[in-house]
Chains A and B, each alone.
Chain A
Amino acid sequence: MSPVWAFVAWLATLAFFAPVAWMVLTSFHQESDAATNPPSLLAPFTLDQYELLLGRDITPYLLNSAMASVISTLLVLALAIPAAYALSIKPVEKWTDVMFFFLSTKFLPVIAALLPIYLIAKDAGMLDNVWTLIVLYTAMNLPIAVWMMRSFLAEVPKEILEAAEVDGAGLPTVLLRIVGPVAMPGVAATALICFIFSWNEFLFAVNLTATNASTAPVFLVGFITNEGLFLARLCAAATLVSLPVLIAGWAAQDKLVRGLSLGAVK
C-alpha cells in the first residue's frame, strides 16, 4: 500500500483511539491537573484515583458485575449447548423455525418488557437482587448463544459422526472425542460475547437495582451531574470498568466478528 494511504489509515485509527487514550491519560492525573483548559498533557502521573476507587467505592459494584456476568454466562452455556446440539448435529423437525424464534426475541425492544419485569420483581421481593439480573441476562444472551453455538457445531463433519456411529461409538464418546474438540473454540467465543453483553448492560441494572445489587455501569451513573465533577476519578472508573471487556475483546478479535454477526460471517 502506498505510504499516503498507510498514513491516512493510521491517522483515522488514532482519531478513533484518541478519546480512549485521553480517558486513560486523565485517569492517572490529579483532579487539579485534569480539569484545566487547555488540558495539561504532561502533568505528573499518579495512581491516586485508582487507589481511591478500589479503596472503598467501586469494589462492591465490580463484584456484582462479575457475579451477574459470570453466572449468567455459565447458565447460557448450560442451556445453549444442548439446544445447539439438537439444532445442528441431530436436527429436530422444523429446526430452522426454532432458530428464527430464538432470533426474533432479540428484535423485541427491551424497554417494552421492562414494566412487567419491574412489577413482577417488585411483587416477588426480587428488586435489588443480583439473581434477578442473572435471570434476565441469561434470557438476553441465550438466543445469540444458540445461534453462535449452532454455527460452530455445524462445522463438525457429518461423515466422521456417521463413521463413529457405524463403529459403535455411544453418545458420550461421540460428544467427548469428536464434537468436543471442534466445539471448544465456539464455546469460548460464545462465553466471551455473553460476558461482554452482560458486563455492559445498563437498562435493567439501573432500573431494577438500588444499593445491594448495583453493577459497574450503575456506579458510573453517579458521575452524570456537572457540578462538583471529579473528572480524573471518572476517567479512572471508566477505564477500570471497561478493562475486562477490553482485554477479552483484544485477545479474541477474530472470534468477536463471528460472534457479533451470529455466526453468519466468518
Chain B
Amino acid sequence: MTTLTPAPRTVRTDPPHRPGKRETPNKWRRRIPLLPALIFTVVVTQLPFVATLVISTFQWNILKPGERHFTGLSNYGFVFTDERLRTAVLNTIALTASVVILSVLLGLGLALLLDRRFPGRGLARTLLITPFLVMPVAAALLWKHAIYNPDYGLLNGTLNAVYRLFGAENGPTIDWLSNSAMPAVIVSLVWQWTPFMMLILLAGLQAQPGDVLEAARVDGASAWQTFCHITLPHLRQYIELGVLLGTIYVVQTFDAVFTITQGGPGSQTTNLPYEIYLTMFRKYEYGEAAAAGVVVVIGAIVIATFALRTIASLFREEVSR
C-alpha cells in the first residue's frame, strides 16, 4: 500500500456540515485535544519570530549598552549591502545546491543497486544508513580530524600508503581544509545525506507496481527504456520529496560549518546560519543579526511555498484515497 498512487484531485477536507443546536459545543469538544499542541507551538515557535522582527528595527550592540535605540529599517540597509553577508548568501546557495543534488544522484544510484537482490543486501543497507545516524557534530569532527588532517588523516594516510606501494619515500602532505575548504565541507555533508535520499528513493522503488514492470519486460523494453519511461516518472514525487526535505535541512547547516572550518579560511565556507551566529555572539550586533534573520525567514518562506505545494499534492492524494 502506498500513499503515492495517483487519485482524483478533488477532495472534501471538511467534515460534512451538520446544522443544529448541538453543533457549537460538539465542535469545541473536538478541538480540545488539539489545543495544547497548537498553543504550545504558537507560543514557542511564532513569538520568537515576532520578537526578531521587533529587534531588527533597533540599533543594539550589547557592548554599547547606552546606545540602544529605534533605527527603522537601517539594519536592513546593512544586510543588503554588507560584503560578508552577500558572501554568506552565495555560500549557502552553493553549499545547499551541491549537497542536495549530489546526494540525490548518489542516493538514486545506491537505491537502484539495493533494490535488486544480492548476497548480504540487508547488511549492506544497514551499513549504508549508518552515516545518517552518526551524530552530526561527531561526524563533522571525524571528517575534520580523522580524514582531512594533513598529518595523520585517512586521506593522506591512504595516499601515503599508495605512494609507498610504488616505491616512493612518502606521499604528498595535502592540507585539504586549507586548500579546498568548501568541497571538503560539501563532501562530508553529501556523505551524511546520501543515505537519507537512498532510503526515500528505495521506498519509492519498492512501491513500484510489479505488473507494469512485468508488462514492459514482456513487451521487450530494455532495462534502460524501462528505467527512463516507467521507473523515473514513478520516482518523480519521491525525488521531489527528497530534494525539498533535504533543502530545508541543509540550508540550516550549522554543525558542520561550526565544527569543520569555523567558516574559514577567511569567509570561504561561512554560510548564513553561521554568519548570523557570528553577528550575534561574536560581534554582539543584535539588531543586525535579527535583520539578517528576518531576511533568511523571507527566503525560507519562498522555498517553503514550493515545498508545501508539493507536500500538499502528495497529501491530497492520500486523503482522497
Contacts and interface: CB of A to CB of B under 8 A. Distances in A.
A26 B141 CA distance: 13
Contacts of B252: 109-111
Contact of B200 (A226, A242, A261): A261
Interface stretch (A48-56, A181-189, A200-208): A200-208
B135 A200 contact: yes
A266 interface: yes
B130 A112 contact: no
Interface string A181-219: 000000000000000100110110011000000001100
B129 A256 contact: yes
A179 interface: no
A161 interface: no
A14 interface: yes
A178 to B, nearest CB: 17
Interface of A: 1, 5-6, 8-10, 12-14, 16-20, 22-23, 26, 34-39, 79-80, 82-83, 85-87, 90-96, 98-120, 135-136, 138-139, 142-143, 146, 151, 154, 196, 199-200, 202-203, 206-207, 216-217, 220-221, 223-224, 226, 229, 231, 234-235, 237-239, 241-242, 245-246, 249-250, 253, 256-258, 260-266
B125 A253 contact: yes
Q: Interface range on chain B: under 10, 10 to 19, 20 to 34, or 35 or more?
A: 35 or more
Contact of B312 (A90, A100, A207, A223): A100
A86 B200 CA distance: 28
Contacts, number: 328
A260 B129 CA distance: 13
Given A114-B280, A116-B51, A221-B137, A261 B245 contact: yes
Contact of B1 (A102, A235, A266): A266
A115 B169 CA distance: 53
Interface of B: 1-4, 13-15, 27, 30-34, 36-38, 40-41, 44-49, 51-52, 55, 109-110, 113-114, 116-121, 124-139, 141-147, 149, 151-152, 154, 156-158, 160-161, 164, 191, 194-196, 199-200, 202-204, 207, 238, 241, 245, 248, 251-252, 254-255, 258-259, 262, 272-273, 276-277, 280-281, 286, 289-290, 293-294, 296-297, 300-301, 303-304, 307-308, 311-312, 314-315, 318-319
Pairs A-B, 3 closest by C-beta atoms: A112-B293, A82-B33, A116-B51
